[in-house]
Chains A and B, each alone.
Chain A
Amino acid sequence: MNLPIFGVSEDPGPNFFKLLGSLDHGEPSFLKASQTLKNGLEQVQSSDVPHGTTIVAIRFDEGVLIAGDRRATAGNIIADRRIEKVYPADRYSAVGFAGSAGPAMEMVKLFQVQLEHYEKVEGVTLSLEGKANQLAQMIRANLPMAMQGLVVVPLFVGWDKESLKGRIFNYDVTGGRYEEVDYYAIGSGGREAQAYVKFAYRNQLSRQEVVRLSLRSLFEAAQEDSATGGPDFMRGIYPVVATVDENGYERVSEDQVAEISKEVVNEVAQGGPRQ
């Protein structure tokens, strides 16, 4: 490896993807792979590839929460029981994904590096809008693969230091970026999760309340959607729940999630539906 120094006209600036391109590492793998996959996917069905499922995001009084179940499925097979689909993007934002797990995890990794790279090269952090747009560009770059069935749809949340509130961004496969007001859910169980949140949501939820609401909504999603994993008390696998507020990203501890999951299940068992 030699020192990556560029002439003034070729300098990639704070853009990590451009840097990878100009360093002959080639394009980010999920971009380059799209060409190969175009032919390859004739044989490989997209249902052979692990898919992640439900992610829910909810705003609360101090910030914003994001939570995701732990299951990945390939067709009717449970491909992974412990996959994590919610990650910190940087200190003040988080990202969760639904869709093809492989390209999605690669995209998250690249997104994390890009945000940190920008911060170090420029000496300042990107604005939340800037981060959201950056992610949109990455999804747009994944479009050829999405057309072949390897769709990646992220849900992005963060603390906006200018407006001093948590914000939620949702994307479509073409890189379209839509800001949501109070809550949103994606993935195969997203409709169920969102239906529950819509029913139970109110303004100014506390952190404690919003964690509970997210776990209940994921539980409801798991009840109706076979691709969404519920809390697994036997193996001790629980959803990943994280909040982002003015102090930054914080993952809710596994013990706490386990405890609240138990309460949620008991609550449902004691007077819930019998269907």
Chain B
Amino acid sequence: MSMPYYVAPEQVMKDRADYARKGIARGRALLGTLYDQGVLICAENPSRSLHKISEIYDRIAFAGVGKYNEFDQLRVAGVRHADTKGYAYSRHDVDARSLANIYAQYLGQVFTHEMKPMEVEILVAELGPSISESQLYHILYDGTVVDETNYCVLGGDAEAVLGRFSTLFESSWSLEQAIKASVKALAGPDRGLLANDLEVAVLSQGNGRRTFRRISQEELKEIVTVTKE
């Protein structure tokens, strides 16, 4: 009769975390920050159709890094949660905090109980009634939620990007300044990023009820080409 090998729980958790981290580190980074009109999310993404940044609800955006099919599943679940909640109660009752919590519950559950943890890191951003009341919830593969202030970075090489970005950040800067700094921080000293390497979207005041808007390639080209010099 064969006996199963004993593996210490510490070791199991460590292995899972390493596995998830490795998967996430393979992808490119993504950055979220506040600016004078709202929340900016800027990602390195060469695809025009497989989005990393999406709309969840009137004032809530979603961004994910890591394995595409996994974070896309979370994105769709978020849209479903928000739409059914808004339909059952009122549009005002849909908020990012409760969404971030149920994402955290789910990721935590998968991390401890499933064979394989999700190789994702997600950002749930909400445009507040005033910009300073906006929320950036950064949720990790194991269900850890971090309520970030002003900016946050997800994905591969996040530490280095965060280091560069924190030296550039200014509160209530313009959209153009914020995009330029984000691109600079994402690119690093050794390479340049062009408009078509990027996916950029905002939650912006003055967009009406649905505040989410993608920044088009044309708009982006004008801002980003200047940055390269």
Contact = CB atoms under 8 A, between A and B. Distances in A.
Interface residues of B, number: 25
Interface stretch (B11-19, B22-30, B48-56, B190-198): B48-56
A271 to B, nearest CB: 43
Nearest to B210: A116
A236 interface: no
Contacts of B83: 16, 19, 113, 116-117, 120
Interface stretch (A2-10, A52-60, A73-81, A224-232): A2-10
B16 to A, nearest CB: 19
B160 interface: no
Contact of A4 (B54, B81, B105, B210): B81
A121 B81 contact: no
B54 A123 contact: yes
B45 to A, nearest CB: 14
B106 A3 contact: yes
A4 B84 contact: yes
Nearest to B78: A3
B95 to A, nearest CB: 12
B79 A5 contact: no
**Dominant SS among interface residues on chain B:** helix
Interface string A2-24: 11110000000000100110010
Given A120-B54, A120-B56, A5 B73 contact: yes
Interface string B194-212: 0000000000000000100
B228 interface: no
A32 interface: no
B81 A1 contact: yes
A274 interface: no
B165 interface: no
Contacts of A121: 76, 79-80
Contacts of A23: 80, 84
Most buried by A among B56, B81, B87, B105: B87
A120 B79 CA distance: 7
Contacts of B79: 117, 120-121
Contact of A25 (B84, B98, B102): B84
Contacts of B81: 1, 3-4
30 contacts: A1-B98, A2-B106, A3-B74, A3-B77, A3-B78, A3-B81, A3-B105, A4-B77, A4-B81, A4-B84, A5-B73, A5-B77, A16-B87, A19-B80, A20-B87, A23-B84, A25-B88, A109-B87, A110-B87, A113-B86, A113-B87, A116-B83, A116-B210, A117-B79, A117-B80, A117-B83, A120-B56, A120-B83, A121-B79, A123-B54
Interface of B: 49, 51, 54-56, 73-74, 76-81, 83-88, 98, 102-103, 105-106, 210
